[in-house]
Amino acid sequence: MRDKCKVVVVGGGIVGCSVLYALAKLGWTETVLVEKLELTAGSTWHAAGNITHFGHYAEITRLYVDSLDIYLEAEAKSGQSVGFHSTGSLRLATSESEMAAYRKLEPLYKALGVPYAVVDAKEVARLNPLVNTDGVFGAAHTPQDGHVDASGATHALAQVARSLGAEIRRQCPAHRIEQLQGGGWEVETESGILHCEHLVLATSFWTRELALQLGLDLPLYALEHHELITDDIPELKALDYEVPTVRDPRAPSNVRQERHSLLCGVYEAHPKLWATDGIPPAFGQELLVPDVDRLEEHLLRVIERMPAFGEHGIKQVNNGPLCFPPDGCPMVGPVRTHPGLWLAAGFPVGIGTGGGSGKYLAEWMVEGRPPYELPIIDPARFSAPMPPEKCFDQIKETYAKGYIMPE
Ligand SMILES: Cc1cc2nc3c(=O)[nH]c(=O)nc-3n(C[C@H](O)[C@H](O)[C@H](O)COP(=O)(O)OP(=O)(O)OC[C@H]3O[C@@H](n4cnc5c(N)ncnc54)[C@H](O)[C@@H]3O)c2cc1C
């Protein structure tokens, strides 16, 4: 077993595995990923797996585009299915200004080679007959969107990385991380001490505590995020295609088809932060206790938009911790004060952006400079410490805005 390597990646979710995969593809295979439980044990296993090409911020659209390409590439190389369902998505507009904002993005998608169209309300109804289009002006339609099996995608990435020479140690928590005097890093793990040149923290909301060991105060906290799955819906059973996912800025939510049911991820107006005093040491891969009463007002808006959602029972409610930085963007890049330390953490939509972010970080590590400038995800934007209360307020505010287009 290696005790020295070029890179140690801590965390075996979709993001850590994406970094390992991208490094291996670039020839950096002297790498070890350590995961405290099993791959996908954090937020990845219970994610709905939605992948859209229409992100919160246009600046990071390329990360979305690259992510899907990378998962499909890993599927082809490994033979492990990533379970991609190509359904397309509709991001609704309930005002002319939203329509104008969507139209402004047309050149961006054209440049990226991603199919994109701004469609009217009639077309919305044709594409997804479950949408009540009252008050809808139209939508941004991204026909290549869909959803993957997040666990399948993580395992496909891991398998390819392993086949290229990377090592993965499961049931292997990193207990202590330390910067060495002469350069490089020491990582004390369950299976012994590892020395490396580069250390990548891909540990979602656990990153805050690991980084505190180095005196770094990162604004990475988690909040509770609910998703609900309905009983079977006869209208869906009757269709011979899967309806596009609907994102509604007015009732911030994503609603997609899950077999013959609807699956709704809710961005509630008054979110609840979780474990702000520290992640409980015994917390593993469990879900949190659901609180559907809190969602009632929000769900009424979802039902108004998609009446079928309210006409059938709810068979499953998942409440999972979701890492959510104050501006809703991940932290991907180097920590300038600690040479050799890299972050790939704080992903609110880690399935949608994980693959592309792993590629972005790996290229930066190998080439010594970022493949392109993307200050919106650079950890340097949080170099000044943020008082916890301010941080909590910003997290809640950003989350509650859901799919409202940033100014
Ligand atoms: C209900 C719900 C639905 C979601 N749906 C979607 C969706 O449809 N689309 C989307 O893009 N995103 C979705 N997300 C968000 C998505 O799940 C996350 O963005 C993504 O899983 C983050 O991946 P990650 O690898 O950063 O973190 P994680 O998957 O949490 O992985 C971090 C890993 O680090 C490990 N770890 C922690 N500390 C240590 C240590 N000291 N040593 C070793 N290992 C350690 C953990 O065990 C864990 O496996 C959803 C989230 C929730 C809660």
pLDDT confidence of residue 406: 64
Question: Separation of 358 CA from ligand 1 center, angstroms?
Answer: 14
What is the rounded average pLDDT of the residues 129-137? Answer: 97
Using the atom order of ligand 1, give the atom closest to the CA of residue 44.
Answer: 21
What is the rounded average pLDDT of the residues 250-273? Answer: 95
Provide the 10 A C-beta neighbour count for residue 300.
Answer: 12
Percent of the chain beyond pLDDT 90? 94
- Is the pLDDT at 161 greater than 80, yes or no? yes
What is the rounded average pLDDT of the residues 196-200? Answer: 98
The string of pLDDT tens digits covering residues 30-67 is: 999 999 999 999 999 999 999 999 877 888 999 999 99
Tokens at 31, concatenated: 């790498």
Mean pLDDT rounded to a whole number for the chain: 96
Whole-structure pTM value: 0.98
* CA–CA gap between residue 142 and residue 91 (Å, rounded): 8
What is the rounded average pLDDT of the residues 199-212? Answer: 97
Our CA dihedral for 390, 58, 43, 303, rounded to 10 degrees, sits at 90
Which has the closest alpha carbon to 168: 344, 1, 350? 1
- The dihedral region occupied by 275, where left means phi > 0, alpha psi between -120 and 50, and beta the remainder, is left
* CA–CA gap between residue 271 and residue 395 (Å, rounded): 9
The string of pLDDT tens digits covering residues 211-232 is: 999 999 999 999 999 999 999 9
- Asked whether 176 and 35 are in contact (CB, 8 A), the reply is no
- The answer to whether the CB of 48 is under 6 A from ligand 1 is yes
* CA–CA gap between residue 23 and residue 100 (Å, rounded): 40
* CA–CA gap between residue 267 and residue 398 (Å, rounded): 10
pLDDT confidence of residue 403: 82
Query: Which H or E run includes 355?
Result: helix 350-367
The string of pLDDT tens digits covering residues 66-125 is: 999 999 999 999 999 999 999 999 999 999 999 999 999 999 999 999 999 999 999 999
CATH architecture, range 4-49+150-220+327-387: 3-Layer(bba) Sandwich (3.50)
Most ligand 1 atoms within 8 A of CB, residue of 203, 223, 225, 319 to mutate: 203
pLDDT confidence of residue 385: 85
The string of pLDDT tens digits covering residues 375-398 is: 999 999 998 889 999 999 999 999
pLDDT confidence of residue 57: 83
pLDDT confidence of residue 404: 79
* CA–CA gap between residue 172 and residue 159 (Å, rounded): 18
- Asked whether 216 and 228 are in contact (CB, 8 A), the reply is no
pLDDT confidence of residue 1: 76
- Is the pLDDT at 158 greater than 80, yes or no? yes
pLDDT confidence of residue 336: 97
Question: Separation of 271 CA from ligand 1 center, angstroms?
Answer: 18
- Half-sphere exposure (Cβ direction) of 245: Cα atoms closer than 13 Å: 29
- The answer to whether the CB of 324 is under 6 A from ligand 1 is no
* CA–CA gap between residue 330 and residue 332 (Å, rounded): 6
- The answer to whether the CB of 54 is under 6 A from ligand 1 is no
- Is the pLDDT at 269 greater than 80, yes or no? yes
pLDDT confidence of residue 200: 98
Smallest CA separation from ligand 1 atom 16, residue: 350
> Percent helix, strand, coil in the chain (nearest 5)?
35, 25, 40
SS3 for 68?
A: helix
Tokens at 53, concatenated: 């090409």
pLDDT band at 237 (very low <50, low <70, confident <90, very high): very high
